[in-house]
Amino acid sequence: MEVRWEVLLIILGAALVTFLPRVLPLMLLSRLALPEWGVRWLSHVSIAVMAALVGQEVLLHEGNWVSLSSNVELLAAIPTFLVALKTRSLLGTVVFGIVAIMLLRYWLA
């Protein structure tokens, strides 16, 4: 049941950078407004970061390119996207993705 220093540092650092965007607009926006270009830039950050994470998880393995013909993650990701589009359910998408990769690894192993 121990907490390592390195892990504690990561948790506290990550908690701080998560806390600030959550509270600062609520606390400050009655006094100041974000510039228009800033709002526009921020509105693209969530799409950009999610696509980047999916790209890295699915197309790379430990920082190296995985050839498309042997990429099981990509094979699971495509129907997972379709399920998300069709069902619009986050939970359904996650469950489908996990089951899909489990079956693909079992069959193709």
Partner 1 sequence: MREQNIRMKAEAALGGEDTFLQGVKDCIPTLLGYLSIGFAAGVVEKTAGLSVAEIALMSLCLYAGSAQFIAAGMMAANGSASAIIITIFFVNLRHILLSAALSPYFRHLPGVRNMLIGALLTDETFGVAINEAARQKRISERWMHGLNITAYSNWFLANIAGAFFGQWIADPEKFGLDFALPAMFSGLLVLSMVSRKKWVLDSVVAVSAVVITVGVSIAFGANIGVIAATVMAATIGMVVEKWK
Q: Which of residues 34-73 bind partner 1 (CB under 8 A)?
A: 34, 37, 39-60, 62-65, 73
Pick from 35, 75, 102, 107: which binds partner 1 (CB under 8 A)?
A: 102
Q: Which of residues 1-40 bind partner 1 (CB under 8 A)?
A: 1-4, 6-15, 17-19, 21-27, 29-30, 34, 37, 39-40
Among 69, 75, 96, 107, which residue interacts with partner 1 (rule: CB under 8 A)? 96
- Report yes or no: 77 and 93 within 8 Å, Cβ to Cβ: no
Smallest separation (angstroms) from partner 1 to the CB of 65: 6
Phi, psi for residue 60 in degrees, rounded to 5: -120, 150
Shortest distance, CB of residue 5 to partner 1, whole angstroms?
10
* Contacts with 75 (C-beta within 8 Å, 6 or more apart), sequence order: 104
Please give the size of the binding site for partner 1, defined by CB under 8 A: 76
**What DSSP string describes 33-87?**
---HHHHHHHHHHHHHHHHHHHHHHHHEETTEEPPGGG-HHHHHHHHHHHHHHHH
